[in-house]
Amino acid sequence: MYLPDGIAPWPDQTSSWILDFWRVMTGARADGWDAIADVLGLTELRGRRIGTLSKGERKRVLLGLALASPQPVVLMDEPFDGLDLRQTRATIAMFRELAREGRSLVLSIHSMPDAARVCDRLVLLNDGSTIAEGTLPELRERAGLAAGADLEDVFLAIA
C-alpha cells in the first residue's frame, strides 16, 4: 500500500463514502478499523466532503485509507504533514502498535525529530543518494558521536 503526500481523492465525495468504499475494496477488518478511526479522529469528519477538509483533516482521512488496508507493508510519504502535535503523537503510538503486530511501515520523513521518534531503522539520503542506514545508535557510532547526539547531528556529521 502506498500513501502519497498531498493528494485529495474524490473531492466531491464525503469522507465516510471514501473510507467505507476503501474498507470494502481492501477487505479491512472492522475491529482494527475502529481503533484506527478513533486515533485519527475520523468520526467527526464522516459527513464532510474531501474537497472541504483542511490539510490536516485530509491527511487523517488518507492515513485511515492507508492503514485500513490489510497489506503487510505500507509506504507513506510525509505521514505527519498537516497533523498537530497531539495527532502526531497519537499516530506515532499507533504506528508503533501496528509494527508490534507485524506490519512494516516505510516512512519518507523530512522532519528528523519525527523520524527519530518513530523509526526503528533509518536510511539517510543526501542529494538523492543513500549515505547511511541503521538504527540511531548505529548511525551515531558511525558518525563518531556521543549517545546523546540527535539525528540532525548524525546527518550533518555523515553528510
**Domain residue limits, the chain:** 2-110, 121-159
> How far is residue 81's CA from residue 26's CA, in Å, rounded to a whole number?
25
Superfamily of domain 2-110 in the CATH hierarchy = P-loop containing nucleotide triphosphate hydrolases (3.40.50.300)
Average of pLDDT values for 119-147? 96
List, in order, residues 6 or more apart from 22 with CB less than 8 Å away.
28, 65, 68, 69
Amino acid at 53: L
- pLDDT of 33 above 90: no
Kindly report the pTM of this predicted structure: 0.84
- Looking at residue 36, what is its pLDDT? 86
CA atoms within 13 A on the CB side of 112: 11
pLDDT tens digits for range 71-114? 899 999 999 999 999 999 999 999 999 999 999 999 999 999 99
Average pLDDT across the chain, whole number: 90
